[in-house]
Amino acid sequence: MDDAAVPTTRAERGTRDDRSVGVRRMPRWYVTLFTSDAMERFGFYGLQAILVLYASAPAERGGLGLAMADAAALFGAWIGLMFMLSLAGGWVGDRWLGNRTALLAGCAVNVVGYLLLSIPAGWTAAAALPMLAIGGAVYKPNHQAMINMMFGGSRSREAGISLMYVASQVSALLAPLIAGYLGERVSWHLAFLAIALVLLATTVQLRVTSAQFHGVGATAIRPLDAPERRTLIRRLALLCPAIVVVLAGLAIAGLLSAVVAIGLIGLLSVVTPIICYVRLRADPALESDDRRRLTFFLFVYLGSALFWMIVAHAASLLNLFARDHVDLEVLGFVMPASWLQAATPLFILLLAPVIASALPRWGGRHNVGTKFSVGLLLVGAGFLVMSVATSLVSADGTKISPWWMVLVYLTHACGEVIIAAVTISAAADVLPAGFLGRTLGMLWLFAGLGGGIGSGVVRLSTVMPEPLYYSLLGSAAILCGVAFWLGRRALTRGLS
C-alpha cells in the first residue's frame, strides 16, 4: 500500500520520522505490533502443538477421547476453517470495523476461545475451536494490513516485516515447549489457560496503546455505504437461520458429531476456494492477459494446497506418531512429544538467512517453476523418510530414534521457506495492483483447501499400512515437483 492510501494528516499518521525500523531504534507502534504478533503466534503454535494430543487423550485424562483418525482430521478441519475465513477477516477490517479495531476484536475472540478450552467439559471445545478459527482469521490479515499502513511507503517496511517473521518463529519455537509441557505433564486445561492469559495481555496491550497509531485503522478505509449495509444484513438474515436449521436438523437426526462437523468444514474448505477463484477470474475489470496469468497461477495455488496439506501432518499424524513410537528419552529426561514441533521453527531460524541469500540466484528466468519444484521435492522426500521410519516400528513396542522425525522436519522447514517466499512474491505480479489483496487472499483459501482435503486424507492412514500411506503422499509431492520442473518454461510464459 502506498502513502496515498494512508491517512495524511499529522493527527492520523503521527510523525513520519518514526517510521524507520532498526535493531536499536524501533517506533512505539512497531514495538506494539511486534510484541502482539509474537504473543498471538504463541497461542496459535501452542494450540497447534497440543490440539491433536488433547483431542485423542482419554476423557479420564482430561482429553476429548477421540479416535486417532478423528483427532488428526479435527486439526486439518480447524486450520482449514481458519484459513478459509481469513479472506472474510480482512474484509471485516477493510469495510466494517477498521483494521486496528478488527485486530483488537480478533484478539478478544481468541481469549474467549482459549478460556473455553480451559474449562474441563467437552461441549466447551466444540464452541471454542470455531471461535479460535474466527479470531485467528480476523487477527492475522488485519495485523498485516496495519503493518503496511503504518509503514506507508517507508524503505524500512521490508526490514520491519522480516524482523516480525523472525519473532513469529521464536514464538513457534517456544510455544510447543511451554504449552506442550503443561499440557502433557500437568493439565491440558492449564496449558489452554496459560495461552489465554498471554492473549489477554495482548488484548490489553493493543487497547492501552491505541494512541500510538494516531487514528490509523480505527475506522474502515472504505466503509460500507447504505445499500451495501442493507445487502449485507439481508444476506446474514438468510445465512444465519439457514446454518441454525441445518445444525438443528443434524442434532434431531442424531448426526451432529465431531465427525460430521469435520466433514462439513472439509467440504466448505474445498468449495469456497473454487467459487472465489471463479468469481475473481470473471471480474469485468480484468483484461484477457490478466485472466491468462491467473489461469496459469492456478497451478501455483494447487501446488501450494498440496504442500500445506502435507506440512499440516506435522501437527496431526506426525505428532501422534512421535507420542506412540518415538524414543523421547534424552539424557534420562523423557521429553513431551509436542517438543518435536519446535524443530521446524528452529531450522527456519537457522536456515532462512542462508536460503534467502541463495534464493534470488535459483531458477533464473524460470524461477517460479524451479523453486516450486524444489520445495515440493523436499517435502515429498521428507514423507518418503517418514515411510521408512514407520516401517521400522516393531510389533513388540520398540521405539525409533527421534532423529528420523528431526530429518523430516528439516525438509519441511526448507520447503516452507522456499514455497512461502515464491508464492507471495509471484502473486504480486499476476494481476493489477488493485487486485493484490484478493490475489494474496486466495493463497489463504488454497492453504485452507489443503487443510480441508487433509482432514479427509488422514483417515486413509487407518485403512492402509502407514509406510504405504506416507510413501503415496510423498510420491505425489515428488511427481508434482517434477511436473513443475518440466513445465517451468510454460509457466513462465503463462505468467509473463
- Which tens digit of pLDDT belongs to each residue from 385-427? 999 999 998 777 789 999 999 999 999 999 988 888 788 778 8
Burial of 455 from C-beta contacts in 10 A (0-12 / 13-18 / 19+): buried
Q: Grid cell 483484461 — which residue?
A: 287
Cβ count within 10 A of residue 472 = 14
DSSP H or E stretch at residue 334:
strand 333-334
Q: What is the mean pLDDT of residues 439-461?
A: 86
Residues constituting the chain: 496
Give 402's DSSP letter. T
pTM for the full predicted model: 0.86
Q: What is the mean pLDDT of residues 251-271?
A: 76
| Each residue's pLDDT tens digit, 221-258 | 878 888 888 998 898 898 888 878 887 787 777 666 66
pLDDT at position 45 is: 95
User: Which range is least confidently modeled, 84-98, 153-167, 391-405, 418-432?
Assistant: 153-167
Provide φ and ψ at 268, rounded to 5°: -65, -40
In this prediction, residue 156 has a pLDDT band, given cuts at 50, 70 and 90, of low
CA angle 179, 321, 127 (to 5 degrees): 50
Beta bridge partner(s), residue 333:
330
3-state secondary structure of 388: helix
**Amino acid code (one letter) for 219:** T
- Give the C-alpha separation, 112 to 238, whole Å: 27
pLDDT at position 24 is: 54
- Give the C-alpha separation, 298 to 279, whole Å: 13
pLDDT at position 14 is: 39
Q: Are 147 and 160 in contact (CB under 8 A)?
A: yes
pLDDT at position 391 is: 93
Q: What is the CA radius of gyration of the chain?
A: 22
pLDDT at position 264 is: 80
According to DSSP, the β-strands at 329-330 and 333-334 are antiparallel
List strand residue ranges (DSSP E) for 228-330, in order.
329-330
**Amino acid code (one letter) for 343:** A
Give the chain's domains with CATH numbers.
Answer: 26-221 (1.20.1250.20), 288-496 (1.20.1250.20)
pLDDT at position 223 is: 86
User: Which range is least confidently modeled, 417-421, 462-466, 471-475?
Assistant: 417-421
Residue 285: is its pLDDT beyond 60?
yes
**Amino acid code (one letter) for 489:** R
Work out whether the CA dihedral 439, 110, 305, 385 comes out positive or negative. Answer: positive
